[in-house]
């Protein structure tokens, strides 16, 4: 019960912070396009690093004293693929929102 009580003020602070920015931005704190940009970049990083055999985990570098594995790192490829799927969904939602806003502006102008 002690760790839960210690985490509750942090969760309350994060929620209050998000609510504050939500009110200040007029309800636009989450953007599908910015999510798509970030997940696309992370996906590319993991896919390229996994393909060339570069370990992104700092623990591996500490244990083996090198970041290069010498083979394809399939766990990084799988993380990159999952992020690519998430990025594709975010791109779809972002472009869909742009289309809806453009139609709304054209019809109401």
How much is the pLDDT for 40?
Answer: 97
DSSP 55: -
Domain-by-domain residue ranges, the chain?
Answer: 1-29, 31-107
24: its two tokens: 């200040």
In the predicted structure, residue 1 carries a pLDDT above the cut 70: no
Asked if 67 contacts 54 with a C-beta cutoff of 8 angstroms, the reply is yes
Entry pTM:
0.71
Confidence of residue 32 (pLDDT cuts 50, 70, 90): confident
The residues pairing with 68 across neighbouring beta strands, listed in sequence order, are: 54
Residue 83 belongs to what H/E stretch? helix 74-107
pLDDT mean over 24-48: 87
pLDDT in tens, 46-80: 999 999 999 888 776 677 778 888 899 999 999 99
């Amino acid at each position: 019960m002690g760790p839960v009580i210690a985490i509750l003020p942090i969760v309350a602070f994060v929620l209050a912070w998000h609510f504050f920015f939500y009110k200040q931005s007029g309800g636009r704190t989450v953007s599908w396009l910015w999510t798509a940009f970030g997940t696309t970049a992370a996906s590319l990083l993991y896919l390229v690093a996994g393909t060339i055999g570069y370990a992104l985990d700092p623990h591996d570098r500490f244990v083996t004293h090198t970041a290069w594995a010498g083979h394809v790192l399939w766990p990084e490829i799988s993380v990159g693929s999952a992020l690519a799927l998430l990025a594709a969904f975010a791109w779809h939602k972002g472009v869909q929102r742009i289309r809806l806003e453009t139609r709304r502006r054209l019809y109401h102008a």
